[in-house]
Structure 1
Amino acid sequence: MSFNDKISKALASTLRYLDNAVSALRKGDENAFSNDVWYVAAELEYALFLFLLAFGDERNTQRPKPNPETINPSTDRVILKIRELVEEAQNFLMKGDLSNAHKHVYLARHYMFKVQESLDKKKTRNTGRKG
């Protein structure tokens, strides 16, 4: 199986977990949402690792900068942005444009960090612990 195939499978899995996360969010199931967010993050990390392997020792591959676009910080909007980025990455991957596919996955992971930070802050507030 080629790196492109493995990346494609990881992105498809990411979208499934995103769908599950949205469903859990709508149902108000915070535990399921938190678990799905973790799986989305893991799949994105795996895809980024596969991109690294696919690029090999190409030193000229620039790391994308986080998107300066500001979006409504509500979790559902961020999740939708992540979905959009992953779908665009899939399209670039199908066209053989690994560089742009990588950029979109990297940015999706950046947004997922924001969701994870938000969940961690909420958990800390709810338990009264300081992190």
Structure 2
Amino acid sequence: MADPEARSIPQLLGDFTSDLTTLLRQESELVRAEFSEKLGVLGRAGGELAGGAILLLAALMVLLQALVLALSNIMDPAWAALLVGVVVAIVGVVLLRAGASLAKPINLTPDRTLRQVGKDAELAKDQVT
């Protein structure tokens, strides 16, 4: 490579542009490769999560019915069913609200990627000056 002192401004800018393009291309290829790898894992995990969720839902139904039957020994069965239904509904609403607050767009911002892009931009700015 030529001595940096001997290169002209257009050559330096051309080298900078080329290096920046290469850096961005390599980072995008890395993101693409990692994303593809993670999608495969996510697909497998999704199937297992769905199967587990279905079985847990069935177990919950059986356990709630057992609770209604147990409570019906000390109160009217209709009141026992109503009590269990209300308690389960309250827990469900609390869980839904907690999940909704976690799913806000501000919580989904790719912070690490933004930091890395900022570092790359700072490095590129240092190269220009």
Is TM-score (shorter-chain normalized) higher than 0.5? no
Larger Rg: 2
TM-score of the aligned structures, taking structure 2 as reference length: 0.29
TM-score of the aligned structures, taking structure 1 as reference length: 0.29
- Greater helix proportion: 2
